[in-house]
Amino acid sequence: MATDSLSRAFAALADPTRRDIVARLAVGDATVSELAAPFDVSLQAVSKHVKVLADAGLVTQTRRAQRRPCHLDAEVFDLMTAWIERYRRRAEERYQRLDTVLADMDDAEHPTAHPHHTPRDQGAAS
């Protein structure tokens, strides 16, 4: 998935009304008028929101007779979630290494230096 697609997806979700629409579509497909019902906005306004979500690849509108229900495209969400999850796992791996270092520090208030690392300038940190 191209980076700009992901940006469009994140940008589309920056709007609270569009997030509500997505939440509604997560339950099941709905027409624009069904989507508009809980909001104090015009059908046109909801149509615009749906168009932004569609342009971002988050929502598709099928041409089923006159109903044209909106459908949530879960694939994009899966990709966004996968990217964040991958990033999260990398951070988690790092912090698990830090857990180990912190546990070692319990034993020795002054940590043992690792001879193969020789910082040239330790400043005030050490």
Partner 1 sequence: MTSTRSTRPTEIEADPAVPTIRMVREFDAPPERVFRAWVDPDLFVRWIGPRSIDTRIDHWDARTGGSWRYASVRDGEEIASFYGSFHEVRPHERLVQTFTFTGYPDGVSLETMTFSDLGDGRTRIVGLSVVESMEIRDMILASGMDTGVVEGYQKLDELLAAG
| Site residues, partner 1 (CB under 8 A) | 3-4, 6-7, 10-11, 13-14, 19, 82-95, 97-107, 111, 113-114, 116-117, 119-126
* Min CB(31)–partner 1 separation in Å: 25
Cβ nearer to partner 1, comparing 40 with 106: 106
Measured between alpha carbons, how far is 42 from 36 in angstroms, rounded to an integer?
A: 7
Cβ nearer to partner 1, comparing 43 with 113: 113
Cβ nearer to partner 1, comparing 42 with 100: 100
* Min CB(85)–partner 1 separation in Å: 8
* Min CB(11)–partner 1 separation in Å: 6
Cβ nearer to partner 1, comparing 3 with 66: 3
Give, for 70, the enclosing helix (H) or strand (E). Answer: strand 70-72
Measured between alpha carbons, how far is 70 from 29 in angstroms, rounded to an integer?
A: 5
CA 14 to the chain's CA centroid: 11
3-state secondary structure of 72: strand
